[in-house]
Structure 1
């Protein structure tokens, strides 16, 4: 098989501010695997879960190009052997995600079926996606909510908290949003922006605000406080940055109610399916999230959406220059098509 990779830069319509900082644009990688006249596509979105750190897309591309000659010796059907090579070389998880996604896309195109049909899934049970409101002033938060509602019939709002100005600023945002849209349920994502004291306090207070759960209340490395929070919290606790892959779930499962699965963290659809299986065995709820992913990566995750209790695959809606077209939106729900593989097209 032949592998090619190129970068593309996407710009956000509205910059996204979380507890770790603000992003207005990102440079991602578009990977193509070609064999037997069929192309499979995948995307790598650089991400970081530690404040003050970042990943250079140029270095990611260089890392990938070093291993391409080894990978090109395989057939796209040899996914198990390819995965072993990727893990043995400690390849970045977003690069593994791009390769694995491209291999699945190739397979779907080879047999002429969309992945969701190949896996025998029922798209009628896909839940609506939430849309994200980043950390800001109460006034700007309400304005962003209205922008989303003008764009789509949003059924669930995901509010980023963990403001550097403290929990009073977090509360002010929630109060303003609640006053503007009392009918729409909320989820809250602190991105590790609280300590244990504030997390306990906010779980009590947010339980009165029609909030369904709190995500990643404690920073990475502070998982030792999850048992205390689990006992005290009035809301379900989901983890994101603390849970990358299937092996992470067992140690976390006694102290959380759900996990946020992201394609770039897991390292591909193959590992995502392992995460889903173990999470369900542990009786955890499942949500899917994204980074600054285009329609390519979000469509890939959507093929497994029938397994999810919650979806937060909205990043491509906030891009002014998404180069791809895949999953569409109807009444707040992500809708897959019947095209083979991922069902993603390149625009222009």
Structure 2
């Protein structure tokens, strides 16, 4: 198979601030695999977690390294390709882009969308949350109003872990709840709390009826989740602490669920393994995203019928998404009936 790599930059409609910083623009990579006149598309987007960083340059360099090697494989040889990429220790975002491209190629080859090829049911897909980043209370209110005007949503995920402390977190969350009293709320601290703050906040959030808290403690402090779990009834999900299925057995006694992201996991193949591993341990699963376009989020949406929660909103916040795929309907990100991923060029793309 032939592999092409194309760089594209996307800009956020609303810059997103979390406990680790603010993002307004990212440069992502479009990967195209070709064989027998069929193209399969995939996307790699940069991300950073603690001291783990996968920059656009790092991803691009790794793709250039493996492209000559991949010419000896077919898109049908996903297992062999995955083993080769793991052996070469390429970044997980590279594996994700190539894995989704090979899946897309297969779906186009057989003429079926992936969700249907896997025997999944779109009517099982739950509404996605959309994100309110760290802000002042009034700024958060404005952001909530913008979202409500812009698209049909049912769930807000509110980013907490404000560097100004948990009092600032409380004020901001209450402001958003007042602005959208009929919506469901999730909270994501992105590892921005100490253990004592996490205990205090989780109990306060439980009293407010928040569904769950995501990544209350920093990556690397997983053992402290044991104590947190003993002091709160609020369900705890992990994101930055869980990259692949190998992490799940180590976390299963401390948490209630995991956030699966294609860039962390290394693609749809590993995401499917993570779903089954998590379910075997009695955990819930959600699918999330980084600064992904419609290409990667539509890929994740193919697996959405298996998720308890969804946070596939990054493409909804782009002003220049070069792709179009899954659509939003009654707050749900729904894959279409086109073969493979069902992703095409956006009419506004240049």
Alignment TM-score > 0.5, same fold: yes
Aligned to 1:147: 146
**CA deviation vs aligned residue, 1:88-113 (integer Å, no higher than 9, x gap):** 00010001000000000000000000
- Shift of residue 152, structure 1, vs aligned partner: 2.1
Corresponding residue of 2:30: 30
Query: How does 1:89-168 map onto structure 2 within 5 Å?
Result: 89-168=88-167
Q: 1:66: which partner in 2?
A: 65
Aligned mates of 1:62, 1:4 — CA distance in 2: 13
Question: Matches of 2:214 and 2:232 in 1, distance apart?
Answer: 12
Alpha-carbon deviation of 1:234?
Answer: 2.5
Aligned match of 1:262: 261
Structure 1 segment 272-291 matched on structure 2, within 5 A? 272-291=271-290
Question: Matches of 2:342 and 2:329 in 1, distance apart?
Answer: 17
User: What is the CA deviation profile of residues 258-314 of structure 1, one whole-angstrom value per residue up to 9, with x for unaligned ones?
Assistant: 000001000010000000000010110111100000000000000000000000000
SS at match of 1:296: helix
**Does the aligned pair in 1 maintain the 2:238–2:258 contact within 8 Å?**
yes
In 2, Cα distance between the equivalents of 1:240 and 1:121? 25
Q: Secondary structure at the match of 1:96?
A: helix
TM-score by length of 2: 0.98
Gaps (5+ residues) in structure 2? none
Alpha-carbon distance in 1 for matches of 2:83, 2:23: 33
Deviation at 1:331, TM superposition (A): 1.3
Identify the range of structure 1 (148-157 vs 73-82) with the bigger mean alpha-carbon deviation.
Answer: 148-157
Contact preservation (8 Å) 2:44, 2:93: yes
1:151 deviation in Å?
Answer: 1.5
CA distance in 1, matches of 2:151, 2:313: 11
Question: How many Å separate the matches in 2 of 1:197 and 1:230?
Answer: 12
Q: List structure 1 segments (4+ residues) > 4 angstroms apart after TM superposition.
A: none
Paired residue secondary structure (2:15): strand
Give the distance between the partners of 2:332 and 2:170, measured in 1 at CA.
Answer: 29
CA distance in 1, matches of 2:114, 2:15: 32
Task: Report SS of the residue matched to 1:191.
Answer: coil
Aligned residue number for residue 4 of structure 2 = 4
Deviates more, 1:199-208 or 1:293-302: 199-208
The aligned counterpart of 2:50 is 50
Q: Hey, what's the Cα distance between the residues in 2 that align with 1:174 and 1:205? A: 11
The whole-number CA distance in structure 2 between the counterparts of 1:284 and 1:55 is 28
Q: Offset of 1:15 from its aligned partner?
A: 0.4
Larger displacement relative to structure 2 (295-304 or 174-183): 174-183
Q: SS of the counterpart of 1:208?
A: helix
For 2:67 and 2:235, the matched residues in 1 are separated by 43
**Secondary structure of the corresponding residue to residue 62 of structure 1:** helix
Cα RMSD for the two superposed structures: 1.0
SS at match of 1:212: coil
Indicate the residue corresponding to 2:325 in structure 1. Answer: 326
Aligned pair count? Answer: 347
State the match for 1:305 in structure 2. Answer: 304
> Offset at 1:58?
2.3
TM-aligned CA deviation for residue 56 of structure 1? 3.1
Q: Distance in 1 between matches of 2:244 and 2:55?
A: 22
User: Secondary structure in 2 aligned to 1:87?
Assistant: helix
SS in 1 for 2:105: helix
1:59 is displaced (CA, Å) by 2.9
Offset from partner CA, 1:313-344 (integer Å, 9 cap, x none): 00000000000000001111112211100000
Equivalent residue, structure 2, for 1:16? 16
CA distance in 1, matches of 2:90, 2:53: 16
Contact 2:126/2:308, CA 8 A, preserved across alignment: yes
